[in-house]
Amino acid sequence: MSSNHLILDAHELKQHYHVKQGVFKPDAVVKAVDGISFKLEKGKTLAIVGESGCGKSTLGRMLTMIETPTSGRLEHLGEDLLSLSKSAQATLRQKIQIIFQNPYGSLNPRKKIGSILEEPLVINRQLSKAERKAKALSIMAKVGLKAEHYDRYPHMFSGGQRQRIAIARGLMLDPSIIVADEPVSALDVSVQAQVLNLMMDLQTELGLSYVFISHDLSVVEHIADNVMVMYLGKVVEQGSKEELFNNPKHPYTLALLSSTPQLSPDKRRQRIKLQGELPSPLNPPSGCAFHGRCQHANERCQQEVPALREDQTDHLIACHAVEEQRIEFSHAV
């Protein structure tokens, strides 16, 4: 990967929280994100996948600097965001915007759309009222909203339109990166496709890079260039979309994929039922955190944390069974 194309470079990012457990017990440490590294190229989409509670939203909040990581390095165009002054961070933060799952919850119901969109400009730009309105109208047009929507309130819109408004607000400061946290999960399937198509059109038009957080692999298959699968704060598999979908190897990825509906019969997979629940991050299992739910687990898995290692070029997997070639793959199913 040419460094010219690299827009975000995360190295060993960690977010550890100290949790009080009562007067007589020492604090517990929750490792919500535990040493995650990735590279995001300009104009590309990295999808972060996993069950709720795996740390993907915490990672999203760190990338947008809503939360400061406990440790690690996060470079934007070669500049380490975490060692910048507060004011330099604030300026750079404008370049990395976030869109949330629930567009209604994130839009002030008492404000008209025009005012919601112009708010970031009031705070961060010195523009006249007329210039702000012109910018809002131009972004509204880009996301498929009409000029007459400018004076309406959020409750007057459908879920899909509200997500368009949230996307428009994310674009007001001309960001280069959008972190989209489950942006279509609250929408009907037919509307999901429209919003995803809009996001892909905007990516082409504006050269945006996306970090797309989702629990839904069928959505990810639509939009991602690269995929990172997370389990209890760690990456278990990472690679190009083609590798992840055509040649998945980690037992957790295989289970997630097998529960994703496939229309095409040649892509249907043998159903692997995920046993049990995601363990509590307060009390994570020893060794491989997935061992209690994995049909390939053995003694080594219970004791030794598997390292994330390259299986093939740019395809990383953290699994003892894959390393020991104990799993038979039949990806032609």
- Distance of closest approach, residue 122 Cβ to ligand SF4, in angstroms: 50
- Distance of closest approach, residue 253 Cβ to ligand SF4, in angstroms: 9
Is residue 291 close enough to count as binding ligand SF4 by CB under 6 A? yes
- Distance of closest approach, residue 214 Cβ to ligand SF4, in angstroms: 21
Site string for ligand SF4, 293-332 (x = CB under 6 A): -x-xx---x----x------------xxx-----------
DSSP string computed for 25-46: SPPEEEEEEEEEEEEEETT-EE
Among 288, 308, 311, 316, binds ligand SF4 (CB under 6 A): 288
- Distance of closest approach, residue 143 Cβ to ligand SF4, in angstroms: 41
Scanning 15-23, 25-33, 240-248, 288-296 for contacts with ligand SF4 by CB under 6 A, the matching segment is 288-296
Quick one: 93 or 320, whose CB is closer to ligand SF4? 320
Number of residues that bind ligand SF4 (CB under 6 A): 12
Quick one: 56 or 291, whose CB is closer to ligand SF4? 291
Quick one: 107 or 236, whose CB is closer to ligand SF4? 236
Quick one: 309 or 331, whose CB is closer to ligand SF4? 309
DSSP string computed for 254-309: HHHHHTS--SSGGG-----PPPS-PPPTTSPPSSSTTGGG-TT--HHHHHSPPP-E
* Per-residue tokens: 3: 């460094």
Give me the phi and psi of 191, to 5 degrees please: -75, -30
For the sheet containing 28-41, what is the strand order? 28-41, 6-19, 71-76, 79-80
* Per-residue tokens: 290: 């997935």
Quick one: 168 or 319, whose CB is closer to ligand SF4? 319
Separation of CA 218 from chain center = 14
Q: At a CB cut-off of 8 Å and minimum separation 6, what does 200 contact?
A: 223
- Distance of closest approach, residue 324 Cβ to ligand SF4, in angstroms: 9
Among 55, 103, 170, 251, binds ligand SF4 (CB under 6 A): 251
- Distance of closest approach, residue 321 Cβ to ligand SF4, in angstroms: 3
Among 290, 308, 311, 316, binds ligand SF4 (CB under 6 A): 290
Scanning 35-43, 278-286, 289-297, 307-315 for contacts with ligand SF4 by CB under 6 A, the matching segment is 289-297
Task: Tell me the CA end-to-end span of the chain in Å, nearest whole number.
Answer: 32
Quick one: 202 or 288, whose CB is closer to ligand SF4? 288
Angle of the 113-124 helix axis to the 129-142 helix axis, nearest 10: 120
Scanning 28-36, 210-218, 255-263, 286-294 for contacts with ligand SF4 by CB under 6 A, the matching segment is 286-294
Rg (CA), the chain: 21
- Could you tell me which residues are beta bridge partners of residue 8? 40, 76
- Could you tell me which residues are beta bridge partners of residue 234? 231
Closest CA to 186 of 262, 100, 256: 100
How many residues are given for the chain? 333
- Distance of closest approach, residue 45 Cβ to ligand SF4, in angstroms: 26
Q: At a CB cut-off of 8 Å and minimum separation 6, what does 166 contact?
A: 99, 100, 103, 106, 107, 183
- Distance of closest approach, residue 182 Cβ to ligand SF4, in angstroms: 25
Binding residues for ligand SF4, rule: CB under 6 A, are 251, 288, 290-291, 294, 296-297, 301, 306, 319-321
